Amino acid sequence: MKFLDRAKIFVRSGDGGGGAVSFRREKFIPFGGPDGGDGGRGGDVWLEAAEGLNTLIDYRFQQHFRAGTGVHGMGRNRSGAAGQDVVLRVPVGTQVFEEDEETLIADLEREGMKVCLARGGNGGFGNAHFKGPVNQAPRHANPGLPGEERWIWLRLKLIADAGLVGLPNAGKSTFLRAVSAATPKVADYPFTTLHPHLGVVSLGPDRRFVLADIPGLIEGAADGAGLGHRFLGHVERCRALIHLVDATEDDVAGAWRTVRRELKAYDPALADKAEILCLNKADALSPELRAEKVEALRRAARRKPLLVSGVSGEGVRAVLERVEALVRQEAARDPADHQDMESDTPTDEAAQAPWSP
């Protein structure tokens, strides 16, 4: 299924049904009086966050959605039926914007959240509603009110606990394959990943989190260069970032600075997120080169990076333990999320345990 994280749609609620002008006509009842019923209310347009969806591809080929019109009132005081509502199902994490793409209408960040995009018009009163001692035979009724219509933008921001960032070909997809059941494409050329991937990492009973892999960032990504700028929004919701730096790069410090600049240029809040710095592809380095690369990256980032390898599994467990601890720490500040994480903080012994996918 094709991944789509932005869509523009048109929604229109239903018009209200018109009231009826009718008079009671029965044998031996010459002056039965007005009995026109009211019109039914027009249908509403709703947006609902549903589990099991991870793309907006359903709105790629159909952009117009209209709710049902209310049925007109009828004689014998019969009211018209209400128009049928339209409920649009979107993935959890979808944001709704006005046509200007700046005004936020709603953020559906939890399953089951609903928002009404357009209210249906009220039905009109029938002539029975206007009868009285002065006007005993009203010959007029109200028409139904028109519905609302609007263009809106849908933007999906995937819900993930941690996100993988780095330059193209830094080994992010290989890392995700090694730690989860996700199967992103892996190849020896840049920009292999064309859209984000999600994987569930399990460290034991009740110890799991969702990891997102986004396309690689290049210099100028925040201004539209490459593919990564389109998907940086998917890591906005992450509680922690795993920054993978390719250990085979000539300038590992420069690679780290490039990604950090783009994160800050896109949104300063991204640069402030908890970051776990990893020197990936450590299996391809000799012991002397390892020490040299680690020292160069340590001087630039002012903290010692973790040596990892998605291929051999070296250091992967330690990274995952640290990520899970950070996610748990953030979840403690927001009890509404991640209530399933209740196990103890990982120990040093667990961090040193060998990792196997």
CATH number at residue 302: 3.40.50.300
Q: Is the pLDDT of residue 239 over 90?
A: no
Q: Is the pLDDT of residue 146 over 70?
A: yes
pLDDT band for position 357 (cuts 50, 70, 90): very low
Of 145, 170, 149, 190, nearest to 244 by C-alpha is 170
> Of 96, 122, 156, which residue sits at a domain end?
156
- CA pair distance 190, 339, nearest whole angstrom: 38
- CA pair distance 180, 210, nearest whole angstrom: 9
- CA pair distance 59, 37, nearest whole angstrom: 38
Do both 264 and 291 map to the same domain? yes
pLDDT reported for residue 51:
87
- Select the more confidently predicted residue: 258 or 118: 118
Q: Is the pLDDT of residue 345 over 80?
A: no
The vertex-321 CA angle with 286 and 209, nearest 5°, equals 120
Do both 131 and 2 map to the same domain? yes
Do both 237 and 208 map to the same domain? yes
Do both 229 and 303 map to the same domain? yes
Mean pLDDT of the chain: 85
Left if phi > 0, otherwise alpha if psi is -120 to 50, otherwise beta: which for 252? alpha
> Of 156, 188, 204, which residue sits at a domain end?
156
Q: Is the pLDDT of residue 1 over 60?
A: no
Total of domains in the chain: 2
Question: Are the C-beta atoms of residues 263 and 249 closer than 8 Å to each other?
Answer: no
pLDDT band for position 285 (cuts 50, 70, 90): confident
Domain-located, residue 188 = yes
Q: Is the pLDDT of residue 128 over 70?
A: yes
Do both 57 and 201 map to the same domain? no
> Of 156, 179, 208, which residue sits at a domain end?
156
Q: What is the mean pLDDT of residues 125-152?
A: 94
Domain-located, residue 130 = yes
pLDDT reported for residue 353:
42
- CA pair distance 97, 103, nearest whole angstrom: 5
Do both 306 and 348 map to the same domain? yes
Domain holding 170, by residue range, is: 162-352
Domain-located, residue 357 = no
Do both 167 and 271 map to the same domain? yes
Q: CB neighbours of 342 closer than 8 A, spacing ≥ 6?
A: 206
Domain-located, residue 144 = yes
Per residue in 24-66, pLDDT tens?
988 888 888 999 999 999 999 999 999 888 889 899 889 999 9
Please report, for the domain that includes residue 61, its CATH number: 2.70.210.12
Do both 298 and 171 map to the same domain? yes
Instruction: Please state the three-class secondary structure of the chain as a single string.
Output: CCCCCEEEEEEECCCCCCCCCCECCECCECCCCECCCCCCCCCCEEEEEECCCCCCHHHCCCCEEECCCCCCCECCCECCCCCCCEEEEEECCEEEECCCCCCEEEEECCCCCEEEEECCCCCCCCHHHHCCCCCCCCCCCCCCCCCCEEEEEEEECCCCCEEEECCCCCCHHHHHHHHCCCCCCCCCCCCCCCCCEEEEEEEECCEEEEEEECCCCCCCHHHCCCCHHHHHHHHCCCCEEEEEEECCCCCHHHHHHHHHHHHHHHCHHHHCCEEEEEEECHHHCCHHHHHHHHHHHHHHHCCCCEECCCCCCCCHHHHHHHHHHHHHHHHHHCCCCCCCCCCCCCCHHHHHCCCCC
